[in-house]
């Protein structure tokens, strides 16, 4: 057989083999529905896109992404700033603390790594984004600080807003105290929401004192952790 004839024979055999392979039924296919989803098990994505006119209206209202990313971003509170916030409420922040110190100041001092403090020796700047461990430690700090802050409100010894009242004689939350915790004056609508939330926290707690501590910690978390 000539070389060209041999080549044609090989090509013909390959075509026949591939045809037989395509016609053969696979024997190891999984059961139907075991590897793919349907309308009941997957999220229905809208792939229709956005109208260019809607996009233009949104950019005109919200501004370009380079602007909105700064306005709507939520960086963590810097470590030094958090310490100043605690001190502004009259919370004692010691220079050093033992590992087992569960006061707000102790948790702050021993939680510097979790809170992303700068490591100047290794030329590592402070984290600008909040991490899971940092958020957890910050929640713990506010929960521990609530007792001291409650006492300082009762004794009118809050350095940042003297004269502010957090709770009246009937354990009802007051606007001046909430404004003090937030650090700004919310609108009347938002203030009503804060007051309702604060009062609900107290009434649903095991006792009013526990409810007051929870309310203070929750408002602080809402103000300083983007939650």
For 66-123, how does the pLDDT look when each residue is reduced to its tens digit (9 = 90+)? 777 666 666 789 999 999 999 999 999 999 999 889 999 999 999 999 999 999 999 9
Lowest-pLDDT range, 12-21, 25-34, 176-185?
A: 12-21
Among residues 99, 66, 211, the alpha carbon closest in space to that of 147 is found at 211
CA 211 to chain centre: 24
Q: Which of 89, 193, 84, 83 is nearest to 150 (CA)?
A: 89
Residue pLDDT, tens place only, 145-172: 999 999 999 999 999 999 999 999 999 9
CB-neighbour burial class of residue 174 (10 A; exposed 0-12, middle 13-18, buried 19+): middle
Whether the model pTM is above 0.75: no
Q: Tell me how crowded residue 178 is: count the other CB atoms within 10 A of its CB.
A: 23
Structural tokens at position 29: 């296919």
Check residue 26 and give its pLDDT.
Answer: 62
**pLDDT at position 63, please?**
80
The predicted structure's pLDDT at residue 146: 97
Q: What is the DSSP string of 105-122?
A: HHHHHHTTTTTT--BGGG
CA distance 68 to 141: 31
What values do phi and psi take at 148, rounded to 5? Answer: -65, -40
Cα 187 from Cα 47, distance rounded (Å): 38
H helices within the chain, ranges in order?
3-23, 52-62, 65-71, 79-88, 104-110, 132-154, 175-182, 188-204, 208-224
Q: How far apart are CA 130 and CA 37, in angstroms?
A: 35
């Amino acid at each position: 057989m000539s070389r060209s004839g041999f080549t044609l024979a090989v090509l013909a055999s390959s075509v026949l083999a591939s045809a037989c392979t395509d016609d053969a039924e696979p024997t190891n296919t999984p059961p139907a529905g075991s590897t793919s989803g349907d309308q009941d098990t997957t999220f229905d994505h809208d792939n229709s896109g956005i109208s260019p006119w809607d996009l233009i209206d949104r950019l005109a209202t919200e501004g370009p992404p380079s602007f909105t990313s700064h306005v709507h971003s939520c960086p963590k509170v810097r470590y030094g700033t958090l310490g100043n916030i605690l001190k502004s409420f009259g919370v004692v922040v010691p220079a050093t603390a033992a590992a087992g110190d569960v006061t707000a100041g102790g948790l702050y001092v021993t939680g510097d790594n979790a809170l992303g403090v700068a490591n100047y020796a290794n030329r590592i700047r402070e984290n600008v984004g909040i991490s899971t461990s940092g958020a957890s430690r910050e929640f713990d700090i506010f929960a521990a600080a609530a007792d001291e802050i409650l006492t300082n409100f009762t004794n009118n010894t809050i350095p940042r807003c003297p004269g502010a009242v957090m709770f009246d004689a009937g354990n009802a939350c007051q606007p001046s105290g909430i404004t003090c915790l937030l650090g700004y004056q919310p609108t009347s609508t938002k203030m009503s929401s804060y007051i309702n939330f604060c009062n609900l926290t107290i009434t649903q707690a095991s006792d009013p004192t526990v409810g007051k501590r929870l309310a203070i910690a929750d408002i602080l978390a809402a103000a300083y952790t983007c939650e």
